[in-house]
Amino acid sequence: MLFDTHAHYDDEAFDADRRELLSAMPEHNVGLIVNPGCTVESSRTAVSLAAQFPHVYAAVGIHPENCGDFEPEHMDAIHALAKTDKVVAIGEIGLDYYWPENPPRGLQQQVLRAHMALAEELHLPVIVHDREAHADTLSVVREFPAVTGVFHCFSGSVEMARELLKLGWMLSFNGAVTFKNARKAPEVIAEVPMDRLMIETDAPYLTPVPFRGKRNDSTYVRLVAERIAQIKGLAPDEVERITWENGKRFFNIA
Ligand code: NI
């Protein structure tokens, strides 16, 4: 079975068919999904989806692009949600310097640190989003040596990957590795030991080739496994099996 470690079914792109789509996942060989939240509200939805579907688990947190109106009380809400059933990580958190209109960098860093401290307190792993913010993200990670996590949709260099592996972190890849212009990610995947890799879709975004441009969903995670298998010189079944085990171990799912 495939484990999609990062998909956003709280997104409005799934409003028309969320229930049917999620119910059918095990029939399509997708046996586990982690749905990270991006705001207090979407974290609440993630927790509720996890309560409704046995194969769905939740992560809770505030995405850097959504922290513009951050208030300390938001962390109280995330804290309370993090202690509910089937919450397996704090995320999606991190830094995003890509869009000029994103919240100020100092505020993003403050919100990231608040979530890292929460993860440390609750002994939960974190799901990190790092876009064009490699040095600053790595430096916050280093401030919290007791916290480990995954860089989702990892876009850093081979050198950065080595640093994270040394710190005990995981790296996760999605449909972006199937794009024609993907250069760095295949180099990184070639270097990362198989027991430190996870696969994801980031649905509804980043649909793998040849379905690029359509809405993404967890069934397409198979194409990510196939691309990694190609880079690693392994059978797709082997990548499926190892990333399944890695995901269960990382998120502490029995
Ligand atoms: Ni995401």
**Model pLDDT for residues 87-133, shown as the tens digit of each residue:** 999 999 999 999 999 999 999 999 999 999 999 999 999 999 999 99
35 Cα: distance to centroid of ligand 1 (angstroms):
9
6 Cα: distance to centroid of ligand 1 (angstroms):
6
- Tell me the pLDDT tens digit for each residue of 10-41: 999 999 999 999 999 999 999 999 999 999 99
Residue 180 binned pLDDT confidence (cut-offs 50, 70, 90): confident
159 Cα: distance to centroid of ligand 1 (angstroms):
23
Point out which residues pair with 126 in neighbouring strands.
90, 149
200 Cα: distance to centroid of ligand 1 (angstroms):
9
Query: Could you tell me the strand order of the sheet in which 87-96 lies?
Result: 2-4, 30-36, 56-60, 87-96, 126-131, 149-151, 170-173, 197-199
- Tell me the pLDDT tens digit for each residue of 131-153: 999 999 999 999 999 999 999 99
Judged against a pLDDT cut of 90, whether residue 249 lies above it is answered with yes
Residues with CB under 5 A from ligand 1 (ion): 92, 202
DSSP 8-state secondary structure symbol assigned to residue 189: H
71 Cα: distance to centroid of ligand 1 (angstroms):
22
pLDDT score, position 181 = 86
186 Cα: distance to centroid of ligand 1 (angstroms):
20
146 Cα: distance to centroid of ligand 1 (angstroms):
24
Q: Where are the domains of the chain?
A: 2-251
3-state secondary structure of 11: coil
195 Cα: distance to centroid of ligand 1 (angstroms):
22
152 Cα: distance to centroid of ligand 1 (angstroms):
8
113 Cα: distance to centroid of ligand 1 (angstroms):
19
**Residues 150 and 111: beta-carbon distance below 8 Å:** no
**Residues 198 and 246: beta-carbon distance below 8 Å:** yes
Residue 57 binned pLDDT confidence (cut-offs 50, 70, 90): very high
8 Cα: distance to centroid of ligand 1 (angstroms):
7
50 Cα: distance to centroid of ligand 1 (angstroms):
17
**Residues 61 and 36: beta-carbon distance below 8 Å:** yes
Judged against a pLDDT cut of 90, whether residue 183 lies above it is answered with no
36 Cα: distance to centroid of ligand 1 (angstroms):
7
CA-nearest of 193, 185, 174, 169 to 250 is: 169
4 Cα: distance to centroid of ligand 1 (angstroms):
12
CA atoms within 13 A on the CB side of 185: 22
- Tell me the pLDDT tens digit for each residue of 63-83: 999 999 999 999 999 999 999
Per-residue tokens: 14? 């799934």
3-state secondary structure of 59: strand
125 Cα: distance to centroid of ligand 1 (angstroms):
16
The C-alpha atoms of residue 71 and residue 178 are separated, in whole angstroms, by 39
Judged against a pLDDT cut of 90, whether residue 61 lies above it is answered with yes
Continuous H helices in the chain: 18-24, 40-52, 72-82, 105-122, 134-143, 158-166, 184-191, 221-232, 236-250
CATH level 2 (architecture), domain 2-251: Alpha-Beta Barrel (3.20)
231 Cα: distance to centroid of ligand 1 (angstroms):
24
CA-based Rg of the chain, rounded to a whole angstrom? 17
pLDDT score, position 112 = 98
3-state secondary structure 83-97: CCCCEEEEEEEEEEC
pLDDT score, position 70 = 96
